[in-house]
Chains A and B, each alone.
Chain A
Amino acid sequence: MTVDREIRRLDLKGYRKYFLNKAMWFAVTFVCAFLLNFILPRLMPGDPVAAIVAHMAQGQSNAAGVQAIYQQYTELFGTNKPMVQQFFIYVKNVFHGDFGFSFSQYPRTVAQVIKSSIVWTLCLQFPAIILGWLIGNTLGALAAYLKKGFDKVLMPISIFVSNFPAFGMAVILLVVFGVSLRWFPTSGGYGYDLIPTFSWKFIWSVIVHYQLPFWSIVLIAIGGQAIGMRSMAIYELNADYVKYSRFMGIKDRKIIGYVFRNAMLPQVTGLALSIGSMVSGALVAEIIFSYPGLGYTILHATMGQDYPLISGTTLIITIMVLVAMFAIDMVYGFIDPRIKAAQSE
């Protein structure tokens, strides 16, 4: 009993060290990422305020007036201040949960812009990532285990589909199922003739509009996941411990459990990364199907040098990726003692 307790104590101590070590590195990464989120957009050539003035001053022939508008806006957005001063204002505001005004969509705030799009993005991305991951890994594992015909058919299809450019898949789905067969609507998040509400008609419309963007993401994800899982599973199936277990007379079912648990590890990392970065949106699907979401907003923000919106969205992505990675690292510590042992030495 005493030995048992001692082992558990040492184990917990090792885990705490592992946790603290990871937490420290994630904190350092966060600070660096936060700095880069602020600095990098501002290093782009060009002047975002000039772009806003462009909207406002088109057709205007009075130069002094244009100049006056320009100055009003540099003052309002603070772009006339030194970058260090801008940074400290930004930090102060962010800690109060205020990302400021979006330059390109002024007078809307960054929070308003993100709020209006993020639900669409999460609802599209999360199920697509999870389903693509589940189906892909199941198929990959089956291919590795069953081999023969299944593998011979699945592998080429997976390679073909996973190498398909995302826009190509989206356009094919659009043309075949949207334009030619007319099974699905070609654009929008819901019926072009509807106004959002909690009604069956609206929900059904959302479901119908969801299909093409959703499957354009899932189909591509399935292929990549299946290939990855198949390779890992084949590698594990040939590992020494599998052969040894077989010699020992352990049942196949039990061995396969071990094999897939080990093969799953890199796939879980990939899943965490995908979930962490899902806020960045499914840009291709959003553009091809005119689907509402954050991806297009971020693209526009980048092209329009909308610093606050770029910083706001990239900060969310940074935090989500870091949290996902941290969670995965913690889970790894539990599910694979080898990693924890190696890290806490």
Chain B
Amino acid sequence: MKRIAVMLSLLVIFGMLLGACATPTPQTIVETVEVPVMQTQIVEQTKVVMETQVVEVTPEAAPGMELPREETLYFNGQQWDPVKCWNPYSTDCNNAMALAAGDNSRVTMFETAYLYDMLDGGMYPLLADGDFQWNDAETQITFKIKPAAHWSDGTPVTADDFAYTWDTYIKYNTNAGNNYKPYVDSVVAADPSTVVVKAVLGDNGMALNPLMVKAYLSSTYVAQKAWTQTLEARTGEDATAFLADESLDVVYSGPYHNFYNDESKVILIRDDAYWGQDASMWGQLPAPKYLAHMIYRDNAAGSAALFGGEVDVSQQFNSNIQMMWLNYGLPISTYLPEAPYMIGGTLPTAYYNMNSYGLDNVAIRKAIALAVDYPTIIANAMTNQSATFDQVPRSLMNPTEGEQALYDHAAVADLQWAGNDIEGATKMLDEAGVVDTNGDGWREYNGETLHYVATCPNGWSDWQAAMEVVAAAGAKIGIDITTNYPEWGVYQTIVTKSDEPLPEGYDIFMMWTDGPGPTQPWGRIRHLLSSEFVGQTVNWNGNWGQYSNPEVDDLIAQIPSETDPAKLKEIYTELVRIYLTDVPSFSLMYRPQVFHTVNETIWTGFPHQDDGTNPPVPPMDCTDGWGVACLYNLTLVSAAQ
């Protein structure tokens, strides 16, 4: 008996060692397998609380199939957990490869009327046919639908689909509906191929906010009316059930759809009948047959896969990315060949809690901001994947050329700071009477020692590194700043509760700002400075430090309907001046809207600076907004050789 046990153990060990001697899965294509299309539908009544029907559609993955490497474009950094659903009305599907409507909508499976290009600020037609038109009274936008535009079931995309999608957004309180309801009155079909988007009107009888009406065209998906009605019938028109539906049977208009997904990966497959191959749109199918995304647990695992050639497009922070080509000679590159490597899109920002003791004093706020060592943050937290504040002076704009041109740099030059100005900060505090009177090394304000806590969510390592630098700056100017990192679940609950002052421990805290988009920089400025969000019970919009300035509110309100570029520049410059003077918050670095690193071992033709594309294809991971054009420019490296 013992011998048998020993023999079995040895066999197990031997088996494992044998397995260990294997080489990794080869990268070359062994064979191309035809995929039989098998679609079965099982409709079954469920007994869950919401009394819904579950519709299961078996994916058309062939058993044992190996994805041909030269037909597959691999991603990382978009999908971090398993997919939950395929419902274009939901914003909680955790389905990053297919669903991400917004300023730069992801248009792999579902489509928008227009595509936004963050590089030139243009909106280019996708489902729409030609440019959209405002009427003379500026109360509505009209656009046509391309005759070629079709759904995956072969039926044409109609204006009725657009109208019904809007009605559904409103009926079920979807994210898009809630977001645009204050600005878009209705979407109607003038005829089967003409869509009219009517604006909510302001006191002057014109669109209350033309920017938001325009943004609706590129920021929201259109869903098929017939399928939406099927979904409504299935969920009994219950809003929660409607938004939580898995929607495996969804009808889509985009070039890809669900092929396979599990705990480890998500794979989309190209629809070879995709309408976009018509000459009126792309004139061809996208090059990769499959879009695949392994679910990596962290950035390190994703970086290792990029290094090993298992990832073609990387939307994650890869520390010291330049080492991949400088030290290892790999065919890996970023949009810009030199630092900062990426196009900055957002401004990770430290907000002051305006209700914390002493932080109502602008000298204290500005002194801390002056003393922070931004180059260290950018070098350490971002490994130089951010422009410095010497290169792009701080403002309310992101570093793209379009936004930078919107304000007068010279007019606010004397208010600028690039960091590490201990002398200036100390002088400012001394002049404001914030000095150390009791000799304990820390300054007092009206007799009370200044002590602050700088915080951000635990595990957000680049933000934590930035907060440590802020704390170090405090020590240099005699203000005691300690750090604390609560879990995200706790942090977000507290920070987004704006109907009361933030509690202790949230004196200086980090949050994000808007990225590039058709409503920017107005949207970003509004979210940074507008007092309309103070008092909201659940505030996911911004101004979390609860800054309030009626002059700023008035300027923000003027922007959407202002069409005179000179006047706009004046308003933006004034807002930047107030921002740099009042310092209700301060940016710590620039961060790309999406990280965009590519490995050109298999595919080439990705967007790079000055690549000659016109309109310029933005580095949006080949999936977002006009960035999706990248999929049609890709070619195989092997074919080029």
- A105 B91 Cβ-Cβ under 8 A: no
Closest residue on chain B to residue A53 by CB atoms: B538
Choose among B177, B263, B294, B538 the residue that contacts A70 (Cβ–Cβ < 8 A). B538
- A287 B304 Cβ-Cβ under 8 A: no
- A62 B263 Cβ-Cβ under 8 A: no
Q: Which residues of B contact A287 (CB under 8 A)?
A: 297-298, 301
Q: Which residues of B contact A187 (CB under 8 A)?
A: 294, 296-297, 301, 304-305
Could you tell me the distance in whole angstroms from the C-beta of A34 to the nearest C-beta in chain B? 23
Could you tell me the distance in whole angstroms from the C-beta of A51 to the nearest C-beta in chain B? 5
B interface: dominant SS = loop
Could you say which of B21, B50, B297, B493 has the most chain A C-beta atoms within 10 Å of its C-beta? B297
- A62 B179 Cβ-Cβ under 8 A: yes
Q: Which residues of A contact B103 (CB under 8 A)?
A: 59
Could you tell me the distance in whole angstroms from the C-beta of B77 to the nearest C-beta in chain A? 13
- B240 A76 Cβ-Cβ under 8 A: yes
Q: Which residues of A contact B537 (CB under 8 A)?
A: 63, 67
Q: Which residues of A contact B294 (CB under 8 A)?
A: 187-188, 192, 290
Closest residue on chain A to residue B308 by CB atoms: A186
Asked whether any CB of chain B lies closer than 8 Å to the CB of A337, the reply is no
Bound CA–CA A47/B490 (angstroms): 7
Asked whether any CB of chain A lies closer than 8 Å to the CB of B541, the reply is yes
Asked whether any CB of chain A lies closer than 8 Å to the CB of B102, the reply is yes
Choose among B24, B245, B307 the residue that contacts A184 (Cβ–Cβ < 8 A). B24
Q: Which residues of A contact B300 (CB under 8 A)?
A: 288
Closest residue on chain B to residue A189 by CB atoms: B264
Could you say which of A56, A69, A107, A185 has the most chain B C-beta atoms within 10 Å of its C-beta? A107
Could you tell me the distance in whole angstroms from the C-beta of A74 to the nearest C-beta in chain B? 11
Choose among B19, B74, B260, B263 the residue that contacts A211 (Cβ–Cβ < 8 A). B19
Choose among B16, B65, B305, B540 the residue that contacts A57 (Cβ–Cβ < 8 A). B540
- A63 B536 Cβ-Cβ under 8 A: yes
Q: Mark A75-97, 1 if CB is under 8 A from B, else 0.
A: 11000000000000000000000
Asked whether any CB of chain A lies closer than 8 Å to the CB of B267, the reply is yes
Closest residue on chain B to residue A52 by CB atoms: B92
Asked whether any CB of chain B lies closer than 8 Å to the CB of A333, the reply is no
Could you tell me the distance in whole angstroms from the C-beta of B50 to the nearest C-beta in chain A? 8
Choose among B24, B69, B81, B175 the residue that contacts A60 (Cβ–Cβ < 8 A). B175
Asked whether any CB of chain A lies closer than 8 Å to the CB of B123, the reply is no
Known A-B contacts A76-B49, A106-B84, A201-B64; A66 and B16 likewise in contact (beta carbons under 8 Å): no
Bound CA–CA A64/B307 (angstroms): 46
Of A233-241, A296-304, A317-325, the one contacting chain B is A296-304
Bound CA–CA A199/B304 (angstroms): 27
- A116 B82 Cβ-Cβ under 8 A: yes
Q: Which residues of A contact B540 (CB under 8 A)?
A: 53-54, 57-60, 66
Could you tell me the distance in whole angstroms from the C-beta of A286 to the nearest C-beta in chain B? 7
Could you tell me the distance in whole angstroms from the C-beta of B328 to the nearest C-beta in chain A? 10
- B20 A184 Cβ-Cβ under 8 A: yes
- B66 A286 Cβ-Cβ under 8 A: no
Could you tell me the distance in whole angstroms from the C-beta of A41 to the nearest C-beta in chain B? 11
- A186 B301 Cβ-Cβ under 8 A: yes
- A51 B492 Cβ-Cβ under 8 A: yes
Q: How big is chain B's contact interface, by range? A: 35 or more
- A106 B244 Cβ-Cβ under 8 A: yes
Could you tell me the distance in whole angstroms from the C-beta of B316 to the nearest C-beta in chain A? 13
Asked whether any CB of chain B lies closer than 8 Å to the CB of A210, the reply is yes
Closest residue on chain A to residue B21 by CB atoms: A183
- B496 A54 Cβ-Cβ under 8 A: yes
Bound CA–CA A290/B310 (angstroms): 14
Q: Mark B2-29, 1 if CB is under 8 A from A, else 0.
A: 0000000100110010011111110100
Asked whether any CB of chain A lies closer than 8 Å to the CB of B63, the reply is yes
Asked whether any CB of chain A lies closer than 8 Å to the CB of B295, the reply is yes
Could you tell me the distance in whole angstroms from the C-beta of B88 to the nearest C-beta in chain A? 14
Could you say which of A120, A131, A208 has the most chain B C-beta atoms within 10 Å of its C-beta? A208
Closest residue on chain A to residue B290 by CB atoms: A193
Known A-B contacts A60-B540, A184-B24, A290-B295; A107 and B244 likewise in contact (beta carbons under 8 Å): yes
Asked whether any CB of chain B lies closer than 8 Å to the CB of A191, the reply is yes
- A56 B91 Cβ-Cβ under 8 A: yes
Of A18-26, A148-156, A174-182, A247-255, the one contacting chain B is A174-182
Bound CA–CA A211/B245 (angstroms): 39
Q: Which residues of A contact B90 (CB under 8 A)?
A: 56
- A185 B538 Cβ-Cβ under 8 A: no
Asked whether any CB of chain A lies closer than 8 Å to the CB of B319, the reply is no
Bound CA–CA A198/B65 (angstroms): 11
Q: Which residues of B contact A59 (CB under 8 A)?
A: 102-103, 175, 179, 540
Asked whether any CB of chain A lies closer than 8 Å to the CB of B292, the reply is yes
Closest residue on chain B to residue A66 by CB atoms: B538
Q: Which residues of B contact A188 (CB under 8 A)?
A: 264-265, 294
Q: Which residues of B contact A338 (CB under 8 A)?
A: none
Asked whether any CB of chain A lies closer than 8 Å to the CB of B613, the reply is no
Bound CA–CA A108/B262 (angstroms): 13
Bound CA–CA A62/B262 (angstroms): 34
Could you tell me the distance in whole angstroms from the C-beta of B56 to the nearest C-beta in chain A? 13
Bound CA–CA A286/B66 (angstroms): 24
Q: Mark A124-163, 1 if CB is under 8 A from B, else 0.
A: 0001000100100000000000000000000000000000
- A205 B25 Cβ-Cβ under 8 A: yes
Asked whether any CB of chain A lies closer than 8 Å to the CB of B430, the reply is no
Asked whether any CB of chain A lies closer than 8 Å to the CB of B361, the reply is no
- A116 B262 Cβ-Cβ under 8 A: yes
Q: Mark B90-102, 1 if CB is under 8 A from A, else 0.
A: 1110100000001
- A131 B298 Cβ-Cβ under 8 A: no
Asked whether any CB of chain A lies closer than 8 Å to the CB of B484, the reply is no
Asked whether any CB of chain A lies closer than 8 Å to the CB of B85, the reply is yes
- B81 A105 Cβ-Cβ under 8 A: yes
Bound CA–CA A127/B442 (angstroms): 58
- B263 A292 Cβ-Cβ under 8 A: yes
Q: Which residues of A contact B536 (CB under 8 A)?
A: 63, 66
- A48 B489 Cβ-Cβ under 8 A: yes
Asked whether any CB of chain B lies closer than 8 Å to the CB of A168, the reply is no
- A214 B297 Cβ-Cβ under 8 A: no
- B178 A190 Cβ-Cβ under 8 A: no
Asked whether any CB of chain A lies closer than 8 Å to the CB of B239, the reply is yes
Q: Which residues of B contact A72 (CB under 8 A)?
A: 173, 239-240
Could you tell me the distance in whole angstroms from the C-beta of B20 to the nearest C-beta in chain A? 5
Within 8 A of A (CB), among B298-331: 298, 300-301, 304-305, 307-308, 310
Known A-B contacts A117-B263, A184-B24, A292-B263; A192 and B74 likewise in contact (beta carbons under 8 Å): yes
Q: Which residues of A contact B476 (CB under 8 A)?
A: none
- B489 A305 Cβ-Cβ under 8 A: yes
Closest residue on chain B to residue A190 by CB atoms: B264
Could you tell me the distance in whole angstroms from the C-beta of B499 to the nearest C-beta in chain A? 10
Asked whether any CB of chain B lies closer than 8 Å to the CB of A196, the reply is yes
- A195 B65 Cβ-Cβ under 8 A: yes
- A192 B92 Cβ-Cβ under 8 A: no
Could you tell me the distance in whole angstroms from the C-beta of B639 to the nearest C-beta in chain A? 19
Could you say which of B13, B178, B182 has the most chain A C-beta atoms within 10 Å of its C-beta? B178
Choose among B9, B175, B262, B263 the residue that contacts A56 (Cβ–Cβ < 8 A). B175
Known A-B contacts A66-B178, A207-B19, A292-B263; A131 and B296 likewise in contact (beta carbons under 8 Å): no
Could you tell me the distance in whole angstroms from the C-beta of A73 to the nearest C-beta in chain B? 8
Closest residue on chain A to residue B22 by CB atoms: A208
- A289 B301 Cβ-Cβ under 8 A: yes
Asked whether any CB of chain B lies closer than 8 Å to the CB of A197, the reply is yes
- B91 A62 Cβ-Cβ under 8 A: no
Bound CA–CA A211/B13 (angstroms): 11
Could you tell me the distance in whole angstroms from the C-beta of A80 to the nearest C-beta in chain B? 14
Q: Mark B452-468, 1 if CB is under 8 A from A, else 0.
A: 00000001000000000
Interface residues of A (CB under 8 A from B): 44-48, 50-70, 72-73, 75-76, 105-108, 116-117, 120, 127, 131, 134, 174, 178-179, 182-199, 201-202, 204-205, 207-208, 210-211, 214-215, 286-290, 292, 296, 300, 303-305
Given A56-B92, A183-B23: 12 more A-B contacts, CB < 8 Å? A66-B536, A73-B240, A116-B82, A182-B308, A194-B25, A195-B67, A202-B64, A288-B301, A290-B298, A292-B264, A300-B81, A303-B459
Q: List 5 A-B contacts (CB under 8 A).
A: A185-B25, A186-B304, A204-B19, A207-B19, A287-B298
